[in-house]
Amino acid sequence: MKPLQNIITWDEKSLLIHGERVMIWSGEVHPFRLPVPSLWLDVFQKIKALGFNAVSFYVYWALLEGKQGRFSAEGIFDLEPFFQAATETGIYLIARPGPYINAEVAGGGFPGWIQRVNSTLRTSAPEFEAATDNYLSHIYKIIAKAQITNGGPIILLQPDNEFTYSARGFYHPPDPAFMQYVEDKAHQAGIVVPIIGNDAWAAGRFVPGSGKGEWDIYAYDQYPFGFECNDPQGWPTISADTGSSTLTTDLYSSHMRQSPSTPFSILEFQGGGSPPWGGSSYDQCALKTNQEFERVFYKNLLASRIAIFNIYMIFGGTSWGYISYAGGYSSYDYGAAIEEDGRTLVREKYSELKTQAQFIKVSPGYLEATPGNMTAGVYSQNTDVTVTPMTGNGTGSFFVARHTDYSNLNSTNYTLQLPLSSGNVSIPQLGGSLTLNGRDSKIHVADYPIGDIMLRYSTAEIFTWKQFEDKKVLIVYGGSSELHEMAILTLSNPLLVEGTGVKIERFGTTAIMQWKTSSSRSIVQIDDLFVYILDRVSAYDYWVPDLLADKKMVSNSTALQGQASVIINGAYLVRSVSIDKNCLFIKADFNSSSTMEIIGVPKSVSKLVVNDGEINFSTASDGSWVAQIQYTPVEFRIPVLSSLNWKYMDSLPEIQPSYDDSQWPAADHAYTNNTLAPLRTPVSLYGSDYGFHSGVLIFRGHFIASGSESLLNISTMGGSAFASSVFLNNTFLGSWPGDVATSIKASNYKVPKLYPGESYVLTVLVDNNGNDANWLLDSDSMKNPRGIIDYSLSSQTGSVTPLTWKITGNLGGEDYMDQERGPLNEGGLFAERQGYHLPRPPLCKFKVGSPFDGIEKPGVAFYTAPLELDYPSQKYDIPITFNFENNTEVSGKYRAILIVNGFTFGKYISHIGPQTSYPVPEGILNYGGENWIGLVLWSIEPGWAKVPNLTLSVKNPVMTGRKPVEVVNAGCWDRRQLAY
């Protein structure tokens, strides 16, 4: 298809931006999962430091149109600061606004009111298309304004998400009319950047030339390990039969069969996992998709000349409030390279990503090379090693080697036979053999230009190279104790200027160097080229920031070479570098006292400023600067949460005889458009039919007793791991405590003796764990209800007593009270309806009481306490986590909701888990003053229930160069006039 503008174009190899060929290396970030806009720049800087040049982001419709027809993207939901942070960092954006996003969010992105739409979702049914109109019109205008054609960072648009698989099966294709409808809405709003799709797998949907709804650029998603991480060390057998043929087919050939006119693109490739309630931890997902996974799988994609590559997720954040779907818990850490609390180097996978992305960044020949098929026995005689060639024409060839059995843990020796421009060569030429140590993969280069110097080959992998004013610097690395060899075309004799152990020989016009990798650095000089020889762990300490003095968007290609950057060794993280007159300004983080080496400083620069302070430095013999950075440990007190001034209130007054529910909405709908239609009850008792889509739902069923009632049969539905409790007046009848396998539960409760003619009330609590997703296009699974599905209050003779019902969820339902925190932050509990979970509640309404003492019987308690912090956040990044002690023998089974300054930041289920620790970012927490902590305790069993222990922990503080974090001022408690 013809581009609608001339800034972003494409061919079969890659995108071209301003006419320059660019590989897009992107990571997924969801702004709504980090509700602190001043931290978005921090995340972008950490992604840019990897060598990435793009971020892909979802927009969550349900947060922006909580009530049909009322769109609001303000405060923490305003995307403009997100776009500004991307521009400031020099990051392109891929916009993915849905309307459906999946993303493990409630409803898959759909607002709860969509359940009431009388048509099949994700189809071209007029009622559904009309329901998307208001959202699409608004969000597309916001995106259009931020396109690169208007000076913004957005370069691609993905309409809808994984529009691939019908509930009726693969051979019932998706509705092209709806895809065309969404694309037309985008173009009508002024979207002119290319449209890229993402098949759920390489199913060949909507490829260019396929007709209605076709995409400009075809892409798909791939998660070869799935989403559960119970066995972090076990790599499954992957075959074409499973639909996850990542390593068993030649992906480039497959792509060329499907979409030969567009660049090979994967818009979601596995960067972690999203285990369910009761499943594995995110630390296990980080191990499952660790640095070895990245070396094997990501380099396999590079061997296929992937040109648009997005890792899902690069930073996961938190499913705060009630934004998670029923299949996932509060954390969305994902096992990503950047942890939920913002830390980077804790997981080696972050550093491994940096080595790969920085290499591609300085290898423009990569996008010009032609991928070949995977081979065994061709480029290496050892058939245990598979080599995939990418042949170039003077701009570099690349040979990607891995174990033929990709999960092999053995160390395998091999040699290479490479077709160089000068003829075939057997490598290593100086004897010995190369080694693949276990789950590893290597990119060997040949005929690779370093400016005007030709690197004939290198078995050591390239981290980066730069052309400075008076020299070139090439950094290569290898695994510990590996033999490596490099050949350079030169008439000069190489000189070992630092280190030992490098064997150098000359053959005609070629100098050959061989070494065994060690932790000690060696440097070899050849003419004006300095080759830094490192081991992999040492390479992790190097950073190659871009100079973006004019904040201009710079593509990830040769434009970044020359004077576009310096090389820095020794910081924990380098955020940005700029030069103003004679000063070099560096923003960086340090977790210890460090020697910082700066390579390639222009001769016109004479001053060094690190994090706004001028630093003394010395100049090494090669011209590099060396500065000593002193890390000053920060002293602060970690509050003991059990010592806070806790206050308590009963948050289930509905079971008291004096409670008045006359202000509650009546449950009187005699119909529903839900999947469970027709109704099994006289009126609908589904929360979303009445505008209640989040948190705990409460039902009150009034009846006049006949005196013969003996049994209550009730079926409740709340999604995986949900719970329900039932009270008759203030008598506890029982609970369903929840398990991971049950989303709908039929329960039977004995009814005590009732008096004929007396009025009684059944109070039923149902925990809505989030609406289901709608991944199967026409399944309408998002409409699966939350609430009471069926009930019968009956006698032994079979007579049934009728009930009249009231229902509530969050106060106001879709006319939600808290506009700042949005429509999915509150549930239906009394404390939430009154707003007592917000900062500075009226303590006169509370009693003295602590969650560590708990309550003596089933019910719901709410606790609140002020928390003062005095942390030096202007200078330090100090990650804070709330931790529950998992001890059901002490506490009994209970559910807890953690609320920080009015933000619902975690749900804890004592007997299911797995989550016990809840990071809360600065900005939600005020590090320099007053905070309010709220805790809901839902006791679901007879007897005492208490929180055994809740502690605050602080991870290692990092001395930081990030911009100050602004506290999100979302408002304090104010009397709600209509609260009941």
Domain containing residue 283: CATH number: 3.20.20.80
**Model pLDDT for residues 599-656, shown as the tens digit of each residue:** 999 999 999 999 999 999 999 999 999 999 999 998 889 999 999 999 999 999 999 9
> What CA–CA distance (Å, rounded) separates 143 from 573?
31
Q: Give the rounded distance of the alpha carbon of 437 from its chain centre.
A: 30
Verify that 322 and 199 share a domain, yes or no.
yes
Domain containing 703: what range? 653-808
CA dihedral (43, 48, 54, 60) in degrees, to 10, reads 0
Question: Which helix (H) or strand (E) segment is 182 a member of?
Answer: helix 176-188
Residue 249: per-residue pLDDT: 73
What is the number of H-type helices and E-type strands within the chain?
13, 56
Residue 846 lies in a domain: yes
Cα–Cα distance list, 578 to 416, 555, 885 (Å): 42, 17, 46
pLDDT confidence band for 923 (50 / 70 / 90): very high
- The CATH number of the domain holding residue 575 is 2.60.390.10
Q: For residue 839, which of 816, 862, 864, 818 has the smallest C-alpha distance?
A: 864
Verify that 89 and 25 share a domain, yes or no.
yes
Position of tokens 């931006």? 17
Boundary-marking domain end, from 320, 345, 370: 345
Position of tokens 């999946």? 102
Cβ 359 vs Cβ 461: under 8 Å: yes
Q: What is the mean pLDDT of residues 439-467?
A: 97
> What CA–CA distance (Å, rounded) separates 764 from 650?
16
Strand partners, 892: none
Residue 549: per-residue pLDDT: 53
> What CA–CA distance (Å, rounded) separates 59 from 86?
16
Question: What's the pTM?
Answer: 0.97
Task: Provide the b/e sequence for 10-34 (b: ≥16 CB within 10 Å).
Answer: beebbbbbeeebbbbbbbbbbbbbb
**Model pLDDT for residues 174-223, shown as the tens digit of each residue:** 999 999 999 999 999 999 999 999 999 999 999 999 999 999 999 999 99
**Model pLDDT for residues 297-353, shown as the tens digit of each residue:** 999 999 999 999 999 999 999 999 999 999 999 999 999 999 999 999 999 999 999
Residue 548: per-residue pLDDT: 66
**Model pLDDT for residues 273-285, shown as the tens digit of each residue:** 999 999 999 999 9
Residue 26 lies in a domain: yes
Verify that 792 and 849 share a domain, yes or no.
no
Cβ 21 vs Cβ 14: under 8 Å: yes
Residue 59 lies in a domain: yes
Verify that 618 and 703 share a domain, yes or no.
no
Boundary-marking domain end, from 280, 310, 345: 345
Residue 503 lies in a domain: no
Q: For residue 217, which of 192, 189, 198 has the smallest C-alpha distance?
A: 198
Q: What is the mean pLDDT of residues 128-139?
A: 98
Verify that 664 and 622 share a domain, yes or no.
no
Question: Which helix (H) or strand (E) segment is 40 a member of?
Answer: helix 40-48
**Model pLDDT for residues 81-130, shown as the tens digit of each residue:** 999 999 999 999 999 999 999 999 999 999 999 999 999 999 999 999 99
Cα–Cα distance list, 588 to 42, 71, 114, 284, 654 (Å): 11, 39, 46, 29, 54
Neighbours of 466 (CB within 10 A): 23
Q: What is the mean pLDDT of residues 514-529?
A: 97
Residue 359 lies in a domain: no
Beta strands in 479-624 (DSSP E): 483-489, 495-498, 502-507, 510-516, 522-526, 529-535, 542-543, 567-569, 573-580, 583-589, 594-599, 607-610, 613-614, 618-619
Verify that 750 and 875 share a domain, yes or no.
no
246 torsion bin: left (phi>0), alpha (psi -120 to 50), beta (else): alpha
Residue 462 lies in a domain: no
Kindly write down the DSSP assignment for every residue of 348-408, as one continuous string: HHHHHHHHHHHHHHT-GGGGGSEE---EESSSSS-TTEEEEEEE-SSS-EEEEEEESSTT-
Cβ 186 vs Cβ 140: under 8 Å: yes
- Grouping H, G, I as helix, E, B as strand and the rest as coil, residue 558 is helix
DSSP letter (8 states) at residue 844: G
Two structure tokens written together for 122: 């994700």
Is it the case that residue 966 has pLDDT exceeding 50?
yes
Residue 111 lies in a domain: yes
Residue 506 lies in a domain: no
Residue 636: per-residue pLDDT: 86
Enzyme catalytic residues: 162, 268
> What CA–CA distance (Å, rounded) separates 9 from 18?
8
Q: Give the rounded distance of the alpha carbon of 525 from its chain centre.
A: 43
Residue 562: per-residue pLDDT: 39
Question: Which helix (H) or strand (E) segment is 187 a member of?
Answer: helix 176-188
Residue 889: per-residue pLDDT: 74
Boundary-marking domain end, from 294, 317, 345: 345
Cβ 294 vs Cβ 350: under 8 Å: no
Residue 782: per-residue pLDDT: 97
**Model pLDDT for residues 158-187, shown as the tens digit of each residue:** 999 999 999 898 888 899 999 999 999 999
Position of tokens 């818990």? 329
Verify that 107 and 73 share a domain, yes or no.
yes
Beta strands in 258-307 (DSSP E): 265-270
Verify that 862 and 801 share a domain, yes or no.
no
> What CA–CA distance (Å, rounded) separates 909 from 723?
10
Kindly write down the DSSP assignment for every residue of 902-966, as one continuous string: TEEEEEEETTT-S--EEE--BTTB-TTSEEEEEEEEEE-SSS-B--S-EEEEEPPPEE--SPPPP
pLDDT confidence band for 675 (50 / 70 / 90): confident
- The CATH number of the domain holding residue 908 is 2.60.120.260
Verify that 612 and 700 share a domain, yes or no.
no
**Model pLDDT for residues 482-507, shown as the tens digit of each residue:** 999 999 999 999 999 999 999 999 99
**Model pLDDT for residues 729-778, shown as the tens digit of each residue:** 999 999 999 999 999 999 999 999 999 999 999 999 999 999 999 999 99
Total domain count, the chain: 4
pLDDT confidence band for 571 (50 / 70 / 90): very high
Residue 170: per-residue pLDDT: 85
Verify that 859 and 953 share a domain, yes or no.
yes
Residue 239: per-residue pLDDT: 53
Verify that 658 and 604 share a domain, yes or no.
no
Where would I find the H helices in 54-175?
61-64, 80-89, 126-145
Verify that 63 and 161 share a domain, yes or no.
yes
CA dihedral (524, 529, 535, 536) in degrees, to 10, reads 180
Position of tokens 């203030």? 730
**Chain mean pLDDT for the chain:** 95
Phi, psi (5° rounding) for residue 364? Answer: -60, -25
Return the higher-pLDDT residue of 675 and 928: 928
Return the higher-pLDDT residue of 565 and 895: 895
Two structure tokens written together for 281: 């931890």
**Model pLDDT for residues 925-954, shown as the tens digit of each residue:** 999 999 999 999 999 999 889 999 999 999
Question: Which helix (H) or strand (E) segment is 656 a member of?
Answer: none
